[in-house]
Amino acid sequence: MVLGTNVTFEVIKYTSIFIAEEMGIELRNTAYSPNIKDRLDHSCAILSPQGGLVAQAEHIPVHLGSMAIGVMNTIEYLKKMEEELQEGDVVIVNDPYIAGTHLNDILLLKPVYYNGDMVAIVANKAHHVDIGGIVPGSIGGNAREMLQEGLVIPPLKIVKNGRIQKDIIRLIEANVRTPKYLHGDLRAQIASLNVGEKRIKEMIMKYGKDTVLNAWRELLDYVERYTKSKIREHGKPGIYEAEDYIELSDNTLAKIKVKVKVEEESIIVDYNGTNKQVNEPVNAVYGVTVAATTFALKSVIDPEMPMNHGFYRVVKIGAPLGSLVNPKPPAPVSGGNVETSQRIVDVVFLALAQGFPGRVPAASCGSMNNVMVGGVHPEGTTWAFYETVGGGSGGRPGADGVDGVHTNMTNTLNTPIEILEKEYPILFMAYSLRQDSCGAGEYRGGLGITRAFKVLEDNVVLTIMAERVRTRPWGLMGGKPGAPGYHYVIRANGTKIVLKSKDTIVLGKGDIVYINTPGGGGYGPPELRDRRKIVKDLIEERISQEHAKQEYKQVIIEIDSNNKN
């Protein structure tokens, strides 16, 4: 294969990555909902005509890691329906068992044709604030089957031959609580795909189709080689096991068990022994399991490496069908995407701490701390808002955890208080780091967050989908666990109601919601932190004394010099 020069390959590689980034910028700039334009809860990627990942933007790990699975499943579905991806088509799908996450994440994909040949697929996922279902925000709410979580959209052509199918958009709008947001956000997703298509065609016009396609193939080969080299460099061959737990609504725990086999140039991850699927919305579809596992592995192998389908030539992921991490429909899955994904990361990290010593942090807060609020305004219009609240990251070899950040499978921002108060009938009362929530250690965990707001209307439905309320983020290498989450409501009359990790409650005007998120676990024995401080203080004292000696010597030199003069 001849690419011309290595420079040409590098230019095409980074151009492809930035095309995905530009798609995300277009999506953000044209979106309507605060969840997408302010929290940036969306992701974009370029894939091969077969659905293999070629390039991605630095967006949401749970979206990106499941993107190829969603696109491949959609292509297979269309083949069964005897439909083809034609030039000018855009396909929409949110069925979790096809798209790979949960109903709120609507996947759109568009084929890119050049001179009559399909050369790529551009795709994006965006979390829509509401997709129907039994609670505003469409996550949790004690759903017992997927149909209770919202509107299920199989793969449909929302654009045919360049023409938007307005009847499909109207149908979806009629089944959600925020139709204006949904309409605007869908059009933003389409605009994003159009930008991706345009930029890929421009790149091919500049470098030639064969050169670009060869560069993409070489990029996959490069990631395969690079991943193998990093496993050889950092990995310790062996089989490593770990387990962690998801909190269920009946106060029991569901186990996630993993076995990671590290070989010289490959890794096999197996979830046999994990709890069977459950009758509540914490099941994680296989796409989520792949995304979470991929995130954990990439973070440890090399967090800076590019990601594409070459990675999956080296890493294999197996999950038993009918389990918590690969359920069968119609099991509910809305919380699996946001919460079980976090626990999958934790359990893989815990296993990798043995196989990649010195490269794994203590557990982060372990929850996206999902908050959904909605209701009906006095004039009769419905509303809903959704956000995730950050927590503490785990202490790391050589550094403390970070305070008040989104960790692991979420890469969103917080929603600015000013935006929320402008858009919704809520008033914020507190937003701060949560004191003493970190796990102690030689390197402490990060602090969680306290976020509190008052509702300004009656009959407002609040749903919490969180984790680490009854369990705690674990410490590593002798570090202590972080503080668990603690969420509650103070009624207008002063009554306090403590919330479970998954809970739904109707609020009245004047009620205040307090979200206190977990802190990260500590890394290393806490007593070493005290010793390090003593040593640090001694060093600083000696440096200070040395500086004083040098200053004294300089004064004497100046005095002697003046006396001579």
pLDDT digits (tens, 9 = 90+) for 26-48: 999 999 999 999 999 999 999 99
Contact 339, 246 (CB under 8 A): yes
pLDDT at 3: 46
- Lowest-confidence region among 85-99, 397-411, 492-506, 550-564: 550-564
Q: Kindly tell me if the per-residue pLDDT of 207 is higher than 50.
A: yes
For range 295-316, the mean pLDDT: 95
Contact 258, 269 (CB under 8 A): yes
pLDDT digits (tens, 9 = 90+) for 180-200: 999 999 999 999 999 999 999
Which residue intervals of 81-178 are DSSP H helices? 96-99, 166-173
Q: Kindly tell me if the per-residue pLDDT of 322 is higher than 70.
A: yes
Which two three-digit tokens encode residue 102? 């949960």
For range 348-367, the mean pLDDT: 97
Which residue intervals of 129-274 are DSSP H helices? 166-173, 179-207, 209-234
Under the banding of pLDDT at 50, 70 and 90, the label for residue 562 is: low
pLDDT at 532: 75
Q: Kindly tell me if the per-residue pLDDT of 484 is higher than 60.
A: yes
How many percent of the chain have pLDDT more than 90?
90
Taking alpha carbons only, the member of 425, 400, 428, 401 closest to residue 414 is 428
Tell me how crowded residue 169 is: count the other CB atoms within 10 A of its CB.
17
Q: Kindly tell me if the per-residue pLDDT of 555 is higher than 70.
A: no
Q: Kindly tell me if the per-residue pLDDT of 386 is higher than 50.
A: yes
List, in order, residues 6 or more apart from 387 with CB less than 8 Å away.
35, 39, 370, 371, 414, 415, 420
Contact 438, 91 (CB under 8 A): no
Domain range summary for the chain, segments of one domain joined by +? 6-223, 361-524
Q: Where are the beta strands (DSSP E) in 377-529?
A: 382-388, 426-433, 449-455, 460-465, 486-490, 496-498, 502-507, 512-516
List, in order, residues 6 or more apart from 312 with CB less than 8 Å away.
none
Q: Kindly tell me if the per-residue pLDDT of 493 is higher than 70.
A: yes
Tell me how crowded residue 86 is: count the other CB atoms within 10 A of its CB.
12
Look up the pTM and report it: 0.92
SS3 category, 460: strand
